Amino acid sequence: MAKTAQKRTFLLEFEKPLVELQARIDQIRELGEEKQLDVSGQLQELEGKVEQLRQEIFSTLTPAQKLQIARHPRRPSTLDYVQAMCDEWLELHGDRRGSDDLALIGGIARLEGRAVVIIGHQKGRDTKDNVARNFGMASPGGYRKAMRLMEHANRFSMPIITFIDTPGAYAGVEAEKLGQGEAIARNLREMFSLEVPIISTVIGEGGSGGALGIGVAEKLMMFEHSVYTVASPEACAAILWKDAKKSEQAAQALKITAYDLKDLGIIDQILPEPPGCAHSDPLATAEILKQAILENLEYLSQLPTDKLKELRYQKFRNIGVFIE
């Protein structure tokens, strides 16, 4: 019962019919066991309806609904994927300038026996954890820590894996005083010069320069229900129409979904999510991500350094190209 209550706490509006139908199945199953009745026929029929309804719901989501899924509090985070995918993990701390930002984490891991450096945004699971991690919005120290770890990876020839999940870089006065723009700009410049493979994945919400600060890569992947945008739909609506309530309209116009971005040539690969999205089956989602990383790593590791850099350079040069 506690587990069901927890699921309902984080229930999205469009998920309610699915959960209600599943609850009905559970009731019939319990009644059948209690009264020793054969309800297998009813259960089979209802389970078929669940699958059909799930397919209908998640194949017709609007960009605004996908944004809700990307922000779901139970959606797997960087540390969840690290725990599920890696044989070993050693988190490294600090930017060597007096800061250790908990919103952007990183360390050395072993993935199927191969040493890699993993860096990613980290949101919290509850209010207290979210406050400690600043809701995944990294400060300048976070981006400087990330760059320190990437330079370490480059020095020891370890591929770099990054996980993007942030509303954007922290935009507070203190962050600006400490050089938020300079820290992100330096990351962008230096990542183009790194001589090891870089694979980035948008695992949830990819927002603005906060996402780009660890997103310069030869291969950029996205989960099918994640989003990637130059500004949040709420911010866009407030800027364009002076009304944050028009965020749904902004989400549609911004082309924030994986399929839109694949068509535009921004991302390279869309990763499918299990039925019911990543938060419904984190382990299966982690396995999908792991296999995609290993496949891309196998390909990129065979390329010479100059080819890796050229791939990275051309990828970003081609973004925004248009024909008059």
Whats the size of the chain, residue-wise?
324
Asked if residue 79 has pLDDT above 50, the reply is yes
Both tokens of 288, joined, read 């999908």
pLDDT for position 165 = 95
Partnered with residue 14 across adjacent β-strands are none
| Res 2 pLDDT > 70 | no
Catalogue the long-range contacts made by 243-251 (C-beta closer than 8 Å, 24 or more residues apart).
247/64, 248/62, 248/63, 248/64, 251/62, 251/63, 251/64, 251/67
Q: What is the pLDDT of residues 131-146, one digit of tens each?
A: 999 999 999 999 999 9
Which pLDDT score is estimated for 39?
A: 67
- Closest by CA position to 264, among listed 236, 292, 222: 222
Q: What angle do CA 257, 262, 264 make, to 5 degrees?
A: 95
What residue has token string 């984490």? 105
Residue type, 187: N
Mean pLDDT of 260-282: 91
DSSP 30: H
DSSP-derived pairing of the beta strands 219-223 and 198-207? parallel
Residue 217 contacts residue 312 (beta carbons within 8 Å)? yes
pTM of the model: 0.88
Q: Reply yes or no on whether the pLDDT at 256 is more than 70.
A: yes
SS3 content of the chain, % helix, strand, coil (to 5): 55, 15, 30
Answer whether residue 51 shows pLDDT above 90: no
Residues 256 and 233 sit within 8 Å (Cβ to Cβ): yes
DSSP per-residue string spanning 63-84: HHHHHHHHT-TTS--HHHHHHH
For residue 110, the model assigns a pLDDT of 96
| Mean pLDDT to the nearest integer, 147-151 | 96
pLDDT for the residue 37: 67
pLDDT tens by residue, 184-216: 999 999 999 999 999 999 999 998 889 999 999
Q: Output the pLDDT for position 4.
A: 44
How much of the chain exceeds pLDDT 70, in percent?
Answer: 93
Report the distance separating Cα 238 and Cα 242, nearest Å: 4
For the chain, the average pLDDT equals: 88
Question: CA-to-CA distance for 63 and 29, rounded, in angstroms?
Answer: 36
**Percentage of residues in the chain having pLDDT higher than 90:** 64
pLDDT, tens digit (0-9, with 9 covering 90-100), for 22-40 = 777 777 777 766 667 676 7
* CA 149 vs CA 92, 145, 194, 259: distances in Å: 8, 6, 12, 31
Does residue 161 register a pLDDT over 90?
yes
